[in-house]
Amino acid sequence: MKKKKLVIFGSGEIAQLAHFYFSNDSDYEVVAFTVNASFIRNDKFCRLPVVAFEDVTIQYPPEEYEIFVALSYSKLNAVRKEKYLAAKLLGYRFASFVSSSATVMNEGKIGEDCFIFEDNTIQPFVSIGNNVTLWSGNHIGHHSVIKDHTFIASQVVISGGVEIGEQCFIGVNATLRDHIKIGDKCVIGAGALLLKDAEPEGVYIGTATERSKVPSNKLKGI
* Cα distances (angstroms) measured from residue 62 to each of 59, 83, 88, 92, 184: 10, 15, 10, 5, 31
At residue 122, the pLDDT reads 98
Mean pLDDT (10-residue bins), the chain, 222 residues: 95 98 98 98 97 98 98 98 98 98 97 98 98 98 98 98 98 98 98 97 93 91 76
Q: In sequence order, what are the residues at sequence separation of 6 or more whose Cβ sits closer than 8 angstroms to the Cβ of residue 4?
A: 27, 28, 29, 66, 95
Is there a shared CATH topology between the 4-94 domain and the 97-202 domain?
Answer: no
State which CATH number among 2.160.10.10, 2.30.30.60, 3.20.20.70, 3.30.1490.20 fits the domain covering 97-202.
2.160.10.10
Domain 4-94: which CATH number of 3.40.50.410, 3.40.50.20, 3.30.420.40, 1.10.10.10: 3.40.50.20
**Domain boundaries in the chain?**
4-94, 97-202
How many whole angstroms separate alpha carbon 17 and alpha carbon 64?
23
pTM for the predicted model, two decimal places = 0.95
Q: Residue 39's closest CA among 83, 77, 73?
A: 83
Q: How far apart are CA 10 and CA 84, in angstroms?
A: 11
Q: Where are the alpha helices (DSSP H) in 78-174?
A: 78-89
